Amino acid sequence: FAAAAGHTSLALADKPLTIGFSQVGAESEWRTANTVSIKDAAKQAGVNLKFADAQQKQENQVKAIRSFIAQKVDVIAFSPVVESGWDTVLREAKAAKIPVILTDRAVNVSDKSLYVTFIGSDFVEEGRRAARWLLERAKTLPAGDINIVELQGTVGSAPAIDRKSGFEQEIKANPNLKIIRSQTGDFTRAKGKEVMEAFLKADGKKINVLYAHNDDMAIGAIQAIEEAGLKPGKDILVISIDGVKGAFEAMMAGKLNVTVECSPLLGPQLMSIARDVKAGKPVPKRITTEEGVFPAEVAAKEFPNRKY
Ligand code: GYE
């Protein structure tokens, strides 16, 4: 061992950064792409990544974070499934002097020093963008009420809360736009389909527009619309958020009208910020992802450029 001592100290100096990451789950195409991005970026950056999938359950995330604290990781990062209920475990991380980075979703804590930074999209703006597309489209529709049904994301999650409020703020500009039903589909295809079936049973032909908080729920709902003998994209306009490949395919098939982009490719940014945090460099408290809006008309042209 003595002979190897020199190597050992070198290895210690180069000790790779260890990040404990608690992921929400695998509920959507978005989430799968996000996980791939984080794992790939960690590999590329030589980061030792401890990855835990919480299967959409906050209690599993709390457990994962506690285990990262026990393992004394350098940095804890996580995408909080819901906004509230994080104070205790984040205080434990702070007491252990382990910095916390939020990715993708925000938390609602009174003490903002419980996390160093939040990297992710502006979900309120995404909701506004979805509504703005509809406000424009509404100008071409016959006069009278435009009945909207809404598929919300996971109850209590930042994207569900914010996408709802951004959309509602904006559609007020046209009093004919009315949300007649709104229910959660938990960001999954299966639930999106199930809830849309219930909407169709209740209101059938009255429904003019579906606003889904993510593409997966929209894709599930499209199936329900077709099974009900209606044409998604025509009889019922379909608006969603994320911009995953499945959404572009649905647009090219004429079944989805628009998707508002929300990028899951947060891995590289997370690795470089984690390094800065570990090195004691100051980082911005909020890092907002830049994204666009893709209506069906540009889907075929944009499809080859899509990375998720
Ligand atoms: O829109 C949805 C996913 O938090 C932005 O979570 C993310 C959302 C995304 O399941 O597809």
ipTM: 0.98
Residue type, 96: A
Separation of 49 CA from ligand 1 center, angstroms? 22
- 293 CA distance to ligand 1 centroid (A)? 16
CA distances to 9, 18, 87 from 213, rounded to whole Å, are 51, 33, 27
Measured from the Cα of 215, ligand 1's closest atom is 11
pLDDT tens digits, one per residue of 195-240: 999 999 999 899 999 999 999 999 999 999 999 999 999 999 999 9
* pLDDT tier at 122, thresholds 50, 70, 90: very high
C-alpha 215 to ligand 1 mean position (Å): 9
Q: 232 with 98: CB under 8 angstroms?
A: no
Q: 305: CA distance to ligand 1 center in Å?
A: 21
CA distance 286 to 266: 13
- Nearest to 28, CA basis, from 210, 219, 181, 163: 219
136: how many CB neighbours lie within 10 A of its CB?
11
Residue 5 burial (10 A CB sphere; 0-12, 13-18, 19+) = exposed
DSSP for 189-213, please give it: HHHHHHHHHHHHHHHGGG--EEEES
* Tens of pLDDT, residues 13-24: 568 999 999 999
Say if residues 185 and 155 touch (Cβ distance below 8 Å).
Answer: no
Is 242 close to ligand 1, i.e. is its CB under 6 Å away?
A: yes
Q: Give the chain's count of helices (H) and strands (E).
A: 11, 12
Burial 232-241 (b: 16+ CB within 10 A, else e): bbeebbbbbb
Nearest-atom index, ligand 1, CA of 244: 11
Is residue 264 lining ligand 1, measured as CB closer than 6 Å?
A: no
Helix 215-227 with 29-45: angle, nearest 10 deg: 150
pTM of the model as a whole: 0.94
pLDDT higher than 60, residue 12: no
**pLDDT tens for each residue of 130-148:** 999 999 999 999 999 999 9
- Determine the Cα–Cα distance for residues 306 and 250; give it in Å rounded to an integer: 14
Instruction: Give me the sheet containing 293-295, strands edge to edge.
Output: 177-184, 146-152, 209-212, 237-242, 258-261, 293-295
Alpha carbon separation from 80 to 26, 59, 102, 104, 303 (Å, rounded): 13, 11, 8, 8, 30
Q: For 30-88, what is each residue's pLDDT tens digit?
A: 999 999 999 999 999 999 999 999 999 999 999 999 999 999 999 999 999 999 999 99
- Is ligand 1 within 6 A of the CB of residue 214? yes
CA atoms of 57 and 152, how far apart (whole Å): 17
Q: Which of 28, 35, 55, 154 to mutate to test the pocket of ligand 1 (most atoms within 8 A of CB)?
A: 28
Q: Is ligand 1 within 6 A of the CB of residue 187?
A: yes
Tell me what pLDDT residue 15 has: 83
- Cβ–ligand 1 contact at 150 (below 6 Å): no
158 contacts 106 by C-beta, under 8 angstroms: yes
Cα 184 to ligand 1 centre (Å): 13
Residue 232 phi/psi, 5-degree rounding, is: -65, 140
Q: What is the DSSP secondary structure assignment for residue 113, as one 8-state letter?
A: G
